[in-house]
Amino acid sequence: AGAYRNLQYLSDKLRWDKDIEEVDKLVLADPQTSGGLLMAVPGDKAETVAAALRAAGINGNIIGEVTASAEPLIYVERS
């Protein structure tokens, strides 16, 4: 039930790529997966920071970028 509420709460801010299936959406909205750390890093430092995290045994990956937008929007695509 929590995953459905999470999806409903963000529904006006989310855009899904056509390849994202319903089960993927539910996994991404699962409240049990909450609690991860998201860092905002300047683009020219992103790979250096991710590499330093990985070198320290921490799963560090670049997952996106911040761009200008007229409206709040999260676009989810498969990479």
Distance CA 56, CA 71 (A): 37
Cβ neighbors of 21 (< 8 A, separation 6 or more) are none
pLDDT in tens, 18-40: 999 999 888 888 887 666 678 89
pLDDT in tens, 1-24: 788 898 898 888 888 999 999 998
Nearest to 63 by CA among 34, 44, 29, 38: 38
pTM score, two decimals? 0.50
Provide the residue ranges of all domains of the chain, joining segments of one domain with +. Answer: 2-76
β strands within the chain, DSSP E: 14-16, 74-76
Q: Are 13 and 74 in contact (CB under 8 A)?
A: yes
